[in-house]
Structure formats: structure tokens, C-alpha cells
Structure 1
């Protein structure tokens, strides 16, 4: 393994993720500012500040732990009548410095009260008309959906570029061009092994005997012209040990080959025993299917179903990773990985000597697109503190107000997302635990590519 190439692959993937995070936050910030909201902070990462710069009313910067990002939009939580009284004072800069709060005795009530107070410490008298909670419901949805939508758009752009130019590595079409001409007849359970010279001499395959070569494209079999491999395969099997006239295209010329297929046991159904059928001794090649934007949308629709299923089993999969960390079971190569695991996979492919540059770029592009798609879908989950939780609150607020108007009832007011903060703390804690488990798993028992 080339250490330098590994480091380059890991670093490029990590930079790609950081750029994606930054664009995710831009997806929140731009519509918030467009709608008149006040954005005081735009940061990539968490923890201590490494660098920041004030531009207008927004502080832009980087944090020490580059595993996320955030934008601070003033007034996310509405004031609560039960927690806050009317006594408010402001300093010389117009920022709130005191607010008398009523006593709270419950733990969750206190958490909500403290969060609301911390939120309103950032609010000045000039911000009265710029508070997020006062925005129309549809604007709140646009602001909160902007971030994950950007991730999905990034995934779409990367997938579309990949599918349009190289093709979809997960969507292969079997062609009638030969990828292998087997030299001898071997039992199906020994498929793939090298033939001995004696086997090649005593029991050559009909294809080898008649001189078929890798790269030949079968045009017709016994007079039946087709470019469908499954049809050719069935014609070979049905031919038993009869004469086979095969027309192939080689280097632009049509050649006719005549041989006899032989009858030998082959696996027709994976769940059944081998059956004696006609056998020629060739394997077809496969090619990736290419497509444009509509094809990409269709493929991402299928991916959406897969991601939803994956999200439903994510806690169980993470628990399996925890068991692998302590040696109770093997790491599932198809299981979830963290950003660290993704970086390791990118580094492993980059340092693989037998993988050409095109395949490395294809893998890297698909990996980065997949991470963006998952991040976008994950953030749409209707749970606080995820963006989807805020979207759900805004939608419920809009529906509640619309129903009230239709029934001629008073405006029910804003949905108080602060009351769901206990749920948000539980979800955030679970996310933190799962993230730590995946990172530890990717360091201790990493997922590796098959050699």
C-alpha cells in the first residue's frame, strides 16, 4: 500500500465532506437571509474556534472538530408565557441583558426554560421583525429544507456526472461479447479454477476447440440473430449435444464457427441441484448502463427506498458494529460506516496499485455522492434536532392555523418547538453515541475492500 496515495485519497474525501457540510449550511443561511432573518454565525465544525471573521452581522469561521456545522438564526424559539415575564432590559448595544423568569421545578421544564432564555439573550429590540419563529410557515420550511436539499442536489450532480460519462457501476448489462473462453470442462462446484494441461488436451470445451476468443461478439447462434445474452444462453442449453453454428464479430469482421455443444451439469437455479444441459464454455462480459438526468432521478428513487430501509435498521446495525468492536462478531462489510470509515475506503482505493485512475475516480465520486445522499435523507427525518424536526413543526403550525381560519376560530399561534427539546436531547444523545461507535469501529475493525 502506497502511504502517500492513501493519505491523498483520505484527505480528498475528507475535504469533499467538509465542502458538502459547508454547502449544507449555505442552504440554510441564504434563504434565511433572503427572507429577512438574522444569521449571526456560520461555522463548519464544533468545539473551540480555530478561525473566524466578522462580515456584516454574520461571523464566519472554522471549529476544531470538523464533524458537522451550523448556522445561528436568531429567534428560533418563541417566548414562552409560562417561563418568561415581561421585564426586559437592554445594554448600550441594544442586546438583552436581563429577563425575569418564573421559577421552574421540573427538570425538563427547567431545560426548556434555560434553552429559551439562552436563545433570547441574542435578541435585541431591532430584531423584533427578523425573528425566525415569526416567519410564515412556508418560509420556515424553505429555510430548514435548504440544507439537506443541497446535499441531495450534490448527490444528484455527482451521480448524474458519473452515470452520463462512465455509467452506473451498480447497473450492469450482460453483453454478447465474450469475456472468457474456458479451456476445459470442469464441474460447476469447481468453477473458476485453472485447467491442467491434461484437462485441456482430454476434455476441451467446444468454444476452446473451435477457436472462439475473448472479445468476440456473438451475432447469431444456429441462425438466430440476437444481442440478448439470456437468449443465446438458452439456445446453447437447449442445443444439448447438437451441431452449433456460431457467427461472431472479431475486429470488424464476421466469422462463422461450427462445433458441437456438449451436455454437462450446470447450475440453472441457485437453489436447485445442477442440471445436464447444452454447454459451450464461454462467459459474457458486462458493461455499465449510462443515462442522463432522468435516468439519474430514476436510480435515486430506488436509492431512496434503500436509504429509508437502512435508516429503519440503523440502530441495530450500529449495535452490531459495537459487538464487532469488542470481538463478539465480525464486522458486516455492508454495514454503516462513519466519515472516518469513508475516508479509509477512499484511501484504500487510491493506494491500490491494480486499480486504474478511472476506476479510482469512479469509486471516489460514487462514495462522496452516496454520503451526501444519506446525509440529506437522514436530516429530513422528522425528529428534532434534525432539520426534519423543524420542518415538521413548521408544517404543523401552518396546518393548525389554516384549520383555525377555515373554522372561524382564533389564531392558535406559533408552534413552540422548545417543548420538544427533551426529545431533541434524547435524539442528539443517541446520534452522538452512534457516531462514536461507528468512528471507533472504523478505527478498530474497519470495513475493507475485497482484494
Structure 2
């Protein structure tokens, strides 16, 4: 019963975090639109039927039933057609898409709105309005990330010995117990003990696990390690051997899925502790997170075949497989059931929201309609056209008609919907599991 309640709690907390992230995103659009005098009839969090709304001033604020997105409606997103009309009919399905989009952007036009249309604002103002949404997600991610890591901290390995392995076992062997014929580990043979703190390797001071680990992995043969034991320092002289160990990437992180490589081996377990990070350490980790997020967005199309196979075939769900809202909610439910201190669960939950908001920022910055990045690209292109015309003393080409790109926007939206449904099916049939 407790497990079920904790799972429900995790799902509810994630749903609330999702709503806050979406509302925060749309608040960026809303506040900057109002700052530049654009009329905004609606500010909605969620999709589907409205479960609550209230009108204040020009804007109706509300929450809808499905917490999977949100939107604001701005008057005059697209300029009138070439004939100066807002509404026109055509037998061409592509032209109809363009005209329907244009008509919808003027649907709630009222007397006096002629000076409050989105498209009439200078390109740089439109860029700010469209960029403000994703930027708010980035701000929220930074706040959560720096706040959690610099106050609560994260678990990390130290140079203190938590246990000594008695024999040499390949990490790919899948066992911890020694078997007959296994050679004695260098650490056990040299007299390393539980509680020792390694402070130097071959005369070079070491104060963190990554540095010590790199020295060990790069050494095969005799070595000297200096340890602190009962307030005193002493030198031990193990002879490191080659062993099959987990492979690490350029940043010192274990690669996923697990792979193995030969490297120097000492044979001990390091003690872990939770400690706050410095501003510089947190900034380095945030940089890595942004880089990994960008690489994940670029690699997304290549993951679709594996996702399809994991959903409708016999394939395994990869650890780095795309996860949707349902999958993230399930992970949060699992997180709440882990046998860990509350502060560690809180940090992991906040980091999950960080990843979600970073993804929203990067994804929305793609220069494709109907994403924010598509509108930003349109405004920038208009600015380039107008500046070029001014330089060469040509007539002002006028606003760039983003509505003409709506057929492509429908194709992009269709692809996104199909991908979202595939991820949803995978999260139900073959979910990524935290444990």
C-alpha cells in the first residue's frame, strides 16, 4: 500500500512540475507580448476542455484538462494576404491551409486592435516575444540545477576506501564473490584497508576520485600509493594488473550502454558521500548537460528504429531512449520508492525537471514552424530582407508572410504527433525503468 501511495505521489509531483514548467514558458510569451503592446486574448495551460478560467483585462487565463502543453493567443500573428485581405477562399488545399491560419490569427479582432497586432511589431520585438518562452524554461532549469547542486549536493565517489576486493574479477563477469583460481587483488596483497584515505599516487597528490581513478587505470605494474590511516601517513607498494573494467568517455563518465576495456586495476571500492558542489563545478556540469541535450536532439531521428523495435518488436528499450510525459511520470513514481535519503530523492526529482526544461528549450529553438524557433527564423529573415533593401535602396519588401509556411508546419506537426504517439506507446508497452 505504501509503495502505491508513493508512486501516486511521484506521478502527482511530476504533473505539478510539468504544469509549472509549461505555465512558466507561456508566461515568458505573455509578459513580453504585453510589454510590446500586443493584445493577448488567451493564456492557457494544457489542452482539451477548460476546467477553470478567469478573465482579467484583455486576457482570459485558464487551465485545461490535458497537462501536455499550453499556449497563448496573440492577435495578428500573420500579416494580411497580398491582396490586403484577411480572409480569402481557394480550391487549393495548400492555399486553404495558409488562409485558414491567417483567418484564425484575426478571429478575435476588435476595434482598436489595428495597432496591437503581432506582425506589426519590429522583428527584434517579435524575436524577443517568441524567444521568451523557451528562455523561461532555461531560466527555470538553471535555477533548479544550481539550487539543488550547490545546496543539497550530489553523491560522488571519494578517495577513501570503503572495501577491499580480495581477488581480481572482470567487471563483465557479473559476480562479486571470488572463485577458485582468481588471482589475489593488488590492493589486498599490498595491505590496503577499509577506512584508508589515498592522498597520493606515485608521489602525486590526489584529492578527488576522478584523478585517482585515471592514475590507476593508466598504470600496470609497480606503483606507490600514500594513504592516511589512524592519523598517520604510510606508503603501500602494490603491483597493478590489467583487468577488464567499465569503459569511460572523455568526460570520465561510464559509457551507456555499458562497455568494457582493459585498464590498470587496484581492487577496492571507494566511499561515496553527498556534498554540495561549487559554482564552478555546477557550471561545468550544466555545460555538459546542455551539450548532451543538444547531441540528443540531433540524434533523435536515429533512435526512432530502435524505439519502434522496442515497442512493436522484440528489441530492448535503450537506456538513452526518448521518454515522454507518461514515461517520465512512471520514473518519478519509481524514484519515490527508492531506499534513499529524502534529500537525494529531492535532488534526483529536481534534476528530472531540469532535463525536461532543457529539452523544452532546445526543442523549441529548432527553426521549424509551428515551434517558437520557426517564428524567430521568420522574423530574422524579414529583418535581413528589409536591411538588404535599405542598403541597396530598394522598396521595402514589407513583413515576411510566415503564413505561407503553414503547409510545411502541418507536416512538421504531423511528424511530431506521430513521434509523440510512438514514445507514448513505448512508455506503456516497454518503459524505461529507473531501477
For the aligned pair, the TM-score class normalised by the smaller chain equals: 0.7 to 0.9
Give the deviation of 1:54 after TM superposition: 1.0
Give the corresponding residue for 2:118: 132
Alignment of 1:230-241 (within 5 A): 230=213, 233=216, 237-239=220-222
Give the deviation of 1:199 after TM superposition: 8.5
> Are residue 347 (structure 1) and residue 311 (structure 2) matched?
no
* SS of residue in 2 equivalent to 1:74: coil
Give the corresponding residue for 2:74: 73
Match of 1:441 among 405, 426, 431: 426
Give the corresponding residue for 1:7: 8
Distance 1:239-1:389 versus aligned 2 partners, 3 A rule: same
CA distance in 1 between counterparts of 2:369 and 2:363 reads 12
Give the deviation of 1:426 after TM superposition: 0.9
Match of 1:429 among 408, 414, 420: 414
Match of 2:366 among 381, 386, 397: 381
Give the corresponding residue for 1:108: 94
Distance 1:191-1:210 versus aligned 2 partners, 3 A rule: farther
Distance 1:70-1:268 versus aligned 2 partners, 3 A rule: closer
Give the deviation of 1:119 after TM superposition: 2.3
CA distance in 1 between counterparts of 2:413 and 2:188 reads 62
* SS of residue in 1 equivalent to 2:227: strand
Match of 1:315 among 298, 301, 314: 301
Distance 1:272-1:322 versus aligned 2 partners, 3 A rule: closer
* SS of residue in 2 equivalent to 1:179: strand
Give the corresponding residue for 1:407: 392
CA distance in 1 between counterparts of 2:330 and 2:185 reads 43
Give the corresponding residue for 1:95: none
Instruction: Write out per-residue CA displacement over residues 272-328 of structure 1, whole angstroms, 9 at most, x where no aligned residue.
Output: 9969x8x75434446688645554444333333332332223233234323322124
Contact 2:172–2:260 under 8 Å retained in 1 = no
Give the corresponding residue for 2:243: 266
CA distance in 2 between counterparts of 1:351 and 1:268 reads 30
Distance 1:102-1:142 versus aligned 2 partners, 3 A rule: closer
CA distance in 1 between counterparts of 2:307 and 2:260 reads 34
Give the corresponding residue for 1:38: 39
Give the corresponding residue for 1:93: none
CA distance in 2 between counterparts of 1:269 and 1:156 reads 31
CA distance in 1 between counterparts of 2:105 and 2:240 reads 79
CA distance in 2 between counterparts of 1:120 and 1:388 reads 22
Give the corresponding residue for 1:256: 234
CA distance in 1 between counterparts of 2:333 and 2:221 reads 48
Contact 1:184–1:199 under 8 Å retained in 2 = no
Give the deviation of 1:118 after TM superposition: 2.7
Distance 1:388-1:199 versus aligned 2 partners, 3 A rule: same
Match of 1:302 among 288, 291, 294: 288
Give the corresponding residue for 2:378: 393
Alignment of 1:7-406 (within 5 A): 7-82=8-83, 84=85, 101-167=87-153, 175-186=158-169, 190=173, 192-195=175-178, 205=185, 207-208=187-188, 212-220=192-200, 224=203, 226-227=205-206, 228-230=211-213, 233=216, 237-239=220-222, 247-250=226-229, 253-256=231-234, 261=238, 265-267=242-244, 281-285=267-271, 291-352=277-338, 354-406=339-391
Contact 1:82–1:102 under 8 Å retained in 2 = no
| TM-score between both structures, scaled by the size of structure 1 | 0.83
Structure 2, unpaired ranges of 5+: 248-258
Number of positions where the alignment pairs a residue of Structure 1 with one of Structure 2: 419
CA distance in 1 between counterparts of 2:416 and 2:301 reads 10
Give the greater-gyration-radius structure (CA).
Answer: 1
Contact 1:318–1:438 under 8 Å retained in 2 = no
| TM-score between both structures, scaled by the size of structure 2 | 0.86
Instruction: Write out per-residue CA displacement over residues 177-218 of structure 1, whole angstroms, 9 at most, x where no aligned residue.
Output: 22321234556765852237x889xx7656446653323112
Contact 1:41–1:72 under 8 Å retained in 2 = yes
Aligned-residue RMSD, C-alpha = 3.2
CA distance in 1 between counterparts of 2:358 and 2:424 reads 20
Of stretches 52-61 and 304-313 in structure 1, the one that deviates more from structure 2 is 304-313
